[in-house]
Amino acid sequence: MSAHKSGNSIRKILVGVDGSEKSIRALEWASELAATLGAQIDVVIAWQTPFPVIELVSLGFDLDLTEFNERPYEIAELRIEKAIKHVFGKVNPAGVTRSISEGYPGLVLVEKSSEADLLVLGNRGHSPVVETLLGSVSQHCLAHAQCPVVIIK
């Protein structure tokens, strides 16, 4: 661990969101902790259309990727703004930053965890088939994050 992470001080909380109810719950939990500790929050959303998803669609799974293929950044921006506004009541609250990235969410969050004191995620609980084919972002982060990880179920 780096020197800034020694001790019990939590100054920066990284929260991964994807627009789901579970990720909004994770942001709510992190906001309460941040208010108690006087910590900053960095809200992160990342997207990727992985090859296995394209394969699932070709096999007949009902996944509509049209919106993401046409305007992924705009959709991600709308989802992160909606989550922040839902939790904080406004789009640009003090002490909250946002980051929108293209890439596998697990890799993006692990990379950003090097600058955080805590990573907070919601667990979407995909089916075993989807978990096997796509992997779990929360499992990836638990195994590779460079700071402690909290998973909100």
Instruction: Report the pLDDT averaged over residues 41-61.
Output: 69
pLDDT of 78 reads 92
Q: Which two tokens stand for residue 65?
A: 């990727």
Higher pLDDT pick, 130 / 57: 57
Could you tell me the pTM of the whole model? 0.79
Which residue segment(s) compose the domain that 49 sits in?
Answer: 3-152
Name the strand (E) or helix (H) holding 140: helix 137-144
Please tell me the distance from the alpha carbon of residue 87 to that of residue 80, in angstroms, as a whole number: 11
Total domain count for the chain?
1
Q: Which two tokens stand for residue 111?
A: 């990379």
Instruction: Report the pLDDT averaged over residues 32-57.
Output: 80
Strand, helix or coil for residue 17: coil
Instruction: Report the pLDDT averaged over residues 48-59.
Output: 57
Instruction: Report the pLDDT averaged over residues 94-113.
Output: 95
Phi, psi dihedral angles at 122 (to 5 degrees):
-95, 150
For residue 13, what is the domain's CATH number?
A: 3.40.50.620
Higher pLDDT pick, 117 / 72: 117
- pLDDT single digits (tens) 118-152: 999 998 665 554 444 445 888 889 999 999 999 99
